[in-house]
């Protein structure tokens, strides 16, 4: 499943300039046709995370909806920390995180309680380094996770094309096959939110495409898939929305077609370059004491 994006318009650019002048962007996540997007599956509100006194995430607010949301940004921009926070691996020092089944921080309600009925697993997570036991076979690995959620390990292996490798030990799998096994682990039990940190990292072009295609296929049934990546061509092809991070701050976010129109570009790479350039010259940043700037699709 690949995506196509519309040509940007002068009207959209004028709207973006008007919003920037007011210090506030459209708070409703809308598609290019103006239709309101689906209800959020998860959300971050004013999230800040520090390590040793260094701010890694700075007052981040955004919504995560069904479909594929790609998180992009330079090395060290906070992508992994953002994903770990969404996946309930890292706890923010300020702000709150709403995800299926519960909230970290100040809130107490699930993002979408009606959608949670009967869901055995709320969040699936694939870290950059997957700690699978190398002596286990692929099937034994997934069987462990499958027992926790009442799922079928063979079906999970089949979903990522590893059924024929089910009896091979993890230590004998190629890097690409390990990443596929990791995607199967993250999606087993059909969680409503799936978080994939660099699933295509270190893979050859064919395996990178396969990893993104699997992410898009999982999102086709209403699942919210959040994926970080440096491969902007694949983001263009498979993602529905993008979040651009720079030095721990969200500098652009929203449906990709809308972002392309706003920045008068025709690709995610164009959005990335324009948003990072704007952050570098201070046009997308808040001054000390100034209220946070909200970008398209970031706050409700």
How far apart, in whole angstroms, are the C-alpha atoms of residue 219 and residue 264? 28
How far apart, in whole angstroms, are the C-alpha atoms of residue 249 and residue 134? 37
How far apart, in whole angstroms, are the C-alpha atoms of residue 113 and residue 117? 7
How far apart, in whole angstroms, are the C-alpha atoms of residue 243 and residue 236? 12
Beta carbons of 259 and 252 less than 8 angstroms apart? yes
Return the pLDDT at 45.
96
Beta carbons of 23 and 293 less than 8 angstroms apart? yes
Sequential DSSP letters for 203-267: --HHHHHHHHHHHHHHHTTT-EEEEE-S-HHHHHHH-SEEEEEETTEEEEEEEHHHHHHHHT-SS
Residue 95 DSSP class: E
Return the pLDDT at 202.
80
Please list the pLDDT of the chain residue by residue as tens digits (300 residues).
Answer: 566 554 444 444 444 444 433 222 333 444 444 444 568 999 999 999 999 989 999 999 999 999 999 999 999 999 999 999 999 999 999 999 998 866 555 443 444 433 343 445 789 999 988 889 999 999 999 999 999 999 999 999 999 999 999 999 999 999 889 999 999 999 999 999 999 999 988 888 998 999 999 999 999 888 999 999 999 999 999 999 999 999 999 999 999 999 999 999 999 999 999 999 877 665 544 333 333 333 333 322
The CATH superfamily of 10-25+37-115+191-280 is P-loop containing nucleotide triphosphate hydrolases (3.40.50.300)
């Amino acid at each position: 499943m690949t995506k196509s994006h519309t040509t940007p318009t002068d009207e959209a650019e004028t709207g973006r300039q008007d919003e920037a002048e007011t210090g506030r962007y459209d708070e409703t996540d809308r598609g290019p046709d103006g239709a309101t997007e689906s209800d959020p599956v998860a959300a971050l509100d004013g999230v800040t995370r520090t390590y040793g006194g260094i701010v890694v995430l700075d007052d981040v607010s955004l919504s995560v909806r069904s479909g594929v949301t790609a998180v992009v940004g330079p090395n060290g921009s906070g992508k992994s920390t953002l994903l770990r926070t969404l996946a309930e691996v890292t706890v923010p020092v300020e702000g709150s995180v709403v995800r299926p089944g519960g909230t970290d921080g100040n809130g107490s309600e699930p993002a979408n309680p009606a959608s949670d009925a009967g869901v055995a697993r709320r969040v699936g997570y694939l870290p950059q380094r997957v700690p699978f036991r190398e002596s286990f076979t692929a099937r034994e690995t997934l069987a462990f996770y499958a027992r926790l959620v009442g799922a079928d390990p063979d079906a999970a292996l089949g979903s990522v094309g590893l059924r024929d490798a089910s009896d091979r030990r993890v230590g004998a799998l190629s890097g690409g096959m390990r990443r596929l096994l990791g995607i199967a682990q993250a999606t087993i039990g059909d969680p409503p939110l799936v978080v994939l940190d660099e699933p295509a990292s270190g893979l050859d072009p064919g395996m990178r495409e396969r990893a993104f295609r699997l992410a898009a296929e999982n999102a086709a049934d209403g699942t919210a898939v959040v994926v970080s990546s440096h491969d902007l061509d694949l983001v263009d092809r498979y993602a529905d929305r993008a979040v651009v991070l720079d030095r721990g701050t969200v500098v652009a976010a929203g449906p990709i077609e809308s972002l392309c129109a706003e920045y008068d570009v025709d690709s995610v790479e164009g959005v990335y370059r324009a948003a990072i350039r704007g952050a570098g010259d201070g046009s997308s940043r808040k001054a000390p004491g100034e209220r946070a700037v909200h970008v398209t699709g970031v706050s409700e």
